[in-house]
Structure 1
């Protein structure tokens, strides 16, 4: 590696470290994104999702390019976004961990064509319209087909400074 390349790599490492630290200071809602493939539920924990448009209703979900869930998401797929409630950090941790049956001993059902956790803060079902590569992630853009809020869990689960919590 040439000295200039080393300096560039070192500067990039510094920026990545600083960016990671800065983003840890931004509170984000936590969700479990799900798909159904051949009758089997699959899901992963995500904190990068947002409403994209109200006319028409659209949502954006960011999935790691190495995510096993991403291999099951295709154009036209139905995707569920289970926004987690305060107190559901064990669920977030379970779906962030690789391997095993993440849905085992967890109450869920198919709702609007996607796996839905029975306990959640909010729910959105969407049809995938576009998959956009973006760095080490893929942006999943979809048209919202169903949405609801829960009343049993009034506070969302958030992730801030590398820890789960809530907003009050």
Structure 2
């Protein structure tokens, strides 16, 4: 699967007043009517346990300028937001300068191996005007997408 390029996002949620987040590359657009996304999270993650309680999450689709942020949220530990600027949006942690933002409410949880797939309706979806484009992950490296010439 390292030969498949995928977009990179940080899934965020709130546990009371404390923000949580984790980097994912397993997410996709699922449906236009209604607007839905899918996200896959490790069954052992604290993030998944919180989302199961709240039924909501934010999806910060990272821009090419946010590789360091992707790496920071990919590590283990509870203090991933330490020193990271964020603001509440729809009651969820939103990271500045992301290529796009989605606030979602979970419709269903599907067990799949050691992960759970979240099927969720997008409550809010916004793309950043003038964004340099989405961050991608390919062959264990962060990169960018470059369109082919017509």
The TM-score range, normalised by the shorter chain, is over 0.9
Q: In the alignment, what sits opposite 1:141? A: 119
Conserved? CA contact 1:49–1:61, under 8 Å: yes
For residue 154 of structure 1, give the secondary structure of its aligned residue in structure 2. Answer: coil
Q: Residues of 2 paired with 1:137 and 1:76: CA distance?
A: 18
Q: How does 1:92-131 map to 2 (within 5 A)?
A: 92-131=70-109
CA-based RMSD: 1.2
Q: 1:76 to 1:141 in 2, by over 3 A?
A: farther
2:7 equivalent among 29, 45, 61: 29
Q: Residues of 1 paired with 2:7 and 2:128: CA distance?
A: 15
TM-score, structure 2 as length reference: 0.92
Q: 1:93 to 1:49 in 2, by over 3 A?
A: same
Q: Unaligned regions of 5+ residues in structure 1, if any?
A: 1-22
Structure 1 or 2: larger strand share?
A: 2
Q: Residues of 2 paired with 1:106 and 1:152: CA distance?
A: 22
TM-score, structure 1 as length reference: 0.83
- What is the CA deviation profile of residues 102-157 of structure 1, one whole-angstrom value per residue up to 9, with x for unaligned ones? 11221101101211001201001100111110011100111110000012422111
Q: Residues of 1 paired with 2:114 and 2:102: CA distance?
A: 25
Work out which of the two has the higher radius of gyration on C-alpha atoms and give 1 or 2. 1
Q: Residues of 1 paired with 2:87 and 2:130: CA distance?
A: 18
Q: Residues of 2 paired with 1:69 and 1:76: CA distance?
A: 11
Q: 1:101 to 1:76 in 2, by over 3 A?
A: closer
Structure 1 or 2: larger helix share?
A: 1
For residue 125 of structure 1, give the secondary structure of its aligned residue in structure 2. Answer: strand
For residue 44 of structure 2, give the secondary structure of its aligned residue in structure 1. Answer: coil
Q: In the alignment, what sits opposite 2:38? A: 60
The runs of at least 4 consecutive aligned structure 1 residues that moved more than 6 Å come to none
Worse overlay, 70-79 or 131-140: 70-79
